[in-house]
């Protein structure tokens, strides 16, 4: 029987080599993946290092997962660990920009000829500092929404409202305060801090110091609103009423700090505090793409404006940064012209304007503002009231003067160059007491010509009052109040003066009602606001 020649018993040499190479590649990939898992397990999370609002950490876990940072924001960052006392912390470090100073990057931005730039500007905050602040405080403050507003159609531009009044204490000051408190040495955290004012800054210190288990004392004058005192105590602070003025409270607080080792805190423009406030600009840039301009409240306390301008100008130098202050005390404009903080501006309506009415508190903020802010405009008190009314009508937002002053620039038509552009407005505060809110809204309605008052004289005969009411009903005016005066009148006998307060839809409706009344009662007197 014929036997055929058998083929080769082993595969070709090339096939063997290919199989071995694939096996080696698989083993290398497997080892690399296991090594990454071990490294990730060694790195503690941010919320493991800070106490979140959801409660204390237990067994390395927290009640709720913290909000993650946008991955696009982390593409240029690594992590660097260092020891701060006995606490191990983690911060972000820019590795692709060689620690480039923020102010050096902006050297090509045109500067105003009326602004003096001091030589210490290169020592100001960097974008790296602001990013580290955002990473460190993300568990302690809200990432507030920046939403498209229905006011956009009314003012001819795309308006986005950054709603910082939704923070726990109703103010953007929480950002700077929390970062400031977390950077304090452990010795000082054990001893405690003390503040002396009834401002939003003090409220933020009271709340976040209590959350961080730092003893906190707040000294308030006896003229402070009971609502503020109650709120501060509910946040967890020890509130002491002392003196009749804010200056008396500050002197007493400094004495207590010196005697007991407390750290006396006041709102200033330190790099740490400005870095915390600058995180607002970082969030606005992330939340609203293709921004053309961002509007901030200004005034003496311009830390929010300065810190956020540093962020925005670093990320996109073409974004216009605009500050808004009151015409009654243009502290920032005078300080920029003089080249140093102005201290001769006084405000006689502190309860309405709040922190906007303070004096310029430092040169760092002033330098940043002069170098980075494109424009500072001033608005009237009437514009601020109308802005508060618009936010309540269209956004159901109850804010104070500090929160509404940014939108007031658009209401007053101070920024016509923004027509058709995409604009973000920071609504930074919503701490307005109820009795002030009532007065502000009532005054704003009269300024907006939706509530008006008139007086006229009619005969004191049956049926004349009903004829007046028929005219008001025909013109669809809502009667809010009506009074009759028969004794103290200068008209002839058997007449009555009628004083009537009505509500209308708008200015056009008010004009129609006025013409109808003048046609029937020529002696009608319209009360001017």
Between 114 and 383, the more confident residue is 383
Nearest residue to 301 via CA among 327, 323, 319: 323
Between 103 and 178, the more confident residue is 178
Supply the DSSP symbol for 244.
Answer: S
Give the number of other Cβ atoms within 10 Å of residue 107's Cβ.
9
Among 7-21, 109-123, 134-148, 200-214, the least confident range: 109-123
pLDDT surpasses 70 at 177: yes
Q: In sequence order, what are the beta bridge partners of 429?
A: 171
Residue 133 — pLDDT band, cuts 50, 70, 90?
very high
Q: Could you read off the pLDDT of 456-504 as tens digits, one per residue?
A: 999 888 889 999 999 999 999 999 999 998 888 777 778 899 999 999 9
Coil, helix or strand at residue 425: strand
Both tokens of residue 516? 């109808």
CATH of domain 450-526: 3.30.70.260
The domain locations on the chain are 127-170+271-443, 450-526
Q: Could you read off the pLDDT of 295-310 as tens digits, one per residue?
A: 999 987 889 999 999 9
Residue 58 — pLDDT band, cuts 50, 70, 90?
very low
> What local confidence, expressed as pLDDT, does residue 152 receive?
97
Backbone dihedral angles phi then psi of residue 221, each to the nearest 5 degrees: -75, 160
pLDDT surpasses 90 at 240: yes
pLDDT surpasses 50 at 69: no
Backbone dihedral angles phi then psi of residue 230, each to the nearest 5 degrees: -60, -45
pLDDT surpasses 50 at 76: no
Report the alpha-carbon angle 113-114-117, nearest 5.
80
Report the alpha-carbon angle 465-470-475, nearest 5.
130
pLDDT surpasses 60 at 174: yes
Residue 64 — pLDDT band, cuts 50, 70, 90?
very low
> What local confidence, expressed as pLDDT, does residue 113 receive?
32
Between 99 and 424, the more confident residue is 424
CA distance 55 to 58: 9
Q: Are strands 216-220 and 193-195 parallel, antiparallel or unpaired?
A: parallel
CA distance 185 to 61: 25
pLDDT surpasses 50 at 81: no
Please give the average per-residue pLDDT across 220-237, as a whole number.
93
Average pLDDT, the chain: 80
Share of the chain above pLDDT 90, in %: 59
pLDDT surpasses 60 at 450: yes
CA distance 527 to 529: 7
Please give the average per-residue pLDDT across 330-358, as a whole number.
74
pLDDT surpasses 80 at 258: yes
Both tokens of residue 198? 């009834």
Please give the average per-residue pLDDT across 323-349, as a whole number.
79
Among 41-45, 224-228, 506-510, the least confident range: 41-45
Residues 198 and 299 sit within 8 Å (Cβ to Cβ): no
> What local confidence, expressed as pLDDT, does residue 416 receive?
96
Residue 359 — pLDDT band, cuts 50, 70, 90?
low
pLDDT surpasses 70 at 311: yes
- Claim: this prediction has a pTM higher than 0.85: no
Both tokens of residue 446? 């009269």
> What local confidence, expressed as pLDDT, does residue 149 receive?
97
CATH of domain 127-170+271-443: 3.40.50.1100
């Amino acid at each position: 029987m014929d036997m055929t020649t058998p083929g080769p018993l082993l595969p070709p040499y090339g096939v063997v080599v290919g199989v071995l190479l694939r096996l080696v590649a698989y083993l290398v990939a497997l080892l690399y993946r296991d090594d990454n898992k071990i490294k990730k397990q060694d790195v503690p999370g941010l919320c493991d290092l800070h106490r979140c609002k959801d409660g204390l950490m237990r067994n390395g876990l927290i009640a709720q997962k913290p909000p993650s940072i946008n991955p696009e924001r982390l593409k240029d960052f690594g992590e660097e660990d260092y020891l701060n006392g006995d606490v191990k912390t983690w911060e972000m470090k820019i590795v692709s920009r060689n620690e480039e100073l923020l102010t050096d990057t902006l050297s090509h931005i045109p500067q105003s000829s009326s602004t003096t730039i001091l030589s210490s500007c290169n020592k100001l905050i960097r974008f790296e500092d602001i990013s580290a602040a955002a990473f460190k405080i993300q568990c302690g403050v809200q990432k507030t929404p920046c939403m498209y507003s229905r006011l956009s159609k009314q003012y001819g531009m795309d308006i986005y409202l950054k709603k910082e009044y939704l923070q726990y204490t109703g103010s953007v000051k929480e950002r700077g305060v929390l970062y400031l408190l977390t950077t304090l040495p452990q010795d000082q955290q054990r001893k405690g801090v003390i503040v002396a004012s009834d401002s939003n800054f003090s409220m933020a210190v009271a709340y976040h110091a209590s959350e961080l288990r730092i003893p906190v004392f707040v000294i308030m004058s006896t003229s402070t609103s009971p609502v503020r005192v109650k709120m501060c105590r509910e946040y967890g602070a020890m509130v002491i009423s002392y003196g009749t003025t804010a200056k008396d409270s500050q002197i007493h607080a400094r004495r207590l700090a010196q005697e007991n080792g407390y750290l006396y805190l006041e709102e200033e423009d330190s790099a740490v505090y400005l870095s915390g406030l600058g995180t607002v600009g970082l969030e606005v840039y992330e939340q609203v793409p293709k921004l053309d301009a961002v509007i901030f409240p200004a005034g003496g306390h311009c830390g929010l404006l300065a810190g956020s301008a540093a962020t925005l100008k670093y990320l996109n130098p073409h974004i216009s940064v605009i500050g808004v202050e009151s015409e009654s005390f243009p502290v920032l404009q005078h300080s920029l012209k003089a080249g140093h903080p102005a201290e001769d501006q006084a405000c006689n309506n502190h309860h309405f304007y709040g922190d906007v009415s303070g004096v310029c508190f430092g040169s760092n903020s002033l330098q940043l503002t002069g170098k980075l802010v494109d424009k500072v405009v001033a608005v009237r008190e009437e514009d601020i009231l109308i802005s508060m009314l618009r936010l309540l009508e269209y956004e159901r937002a109850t804010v104070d003067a500090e929160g509404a002053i940014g939108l007031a620039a658009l209401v007053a038509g101070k920024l016509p160059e923004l027509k058709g552009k995409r604009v973000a407005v920071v609504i930074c505060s919503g701490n307005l007491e109820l009795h002030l809110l009532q007065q502000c809204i009532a005054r704003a309605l009269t300024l907006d010509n939706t509530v008006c008052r008139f007086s006229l004289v009619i005969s004191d005969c049956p049926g004349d009052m009903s004829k007046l009411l028929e005219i008001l009903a025909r013109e669809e005016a809502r009667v809010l109040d009506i009074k009759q005066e028969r004794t103290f009148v200068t008209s002839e006998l058997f007449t009555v003066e009628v004083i009537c307060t009505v509500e209308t839809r708008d200015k056009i409706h008010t004009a129609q009602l006025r013409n109808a009344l003048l046609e029937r009662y020529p002696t009608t007197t319209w009360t001017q606001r």
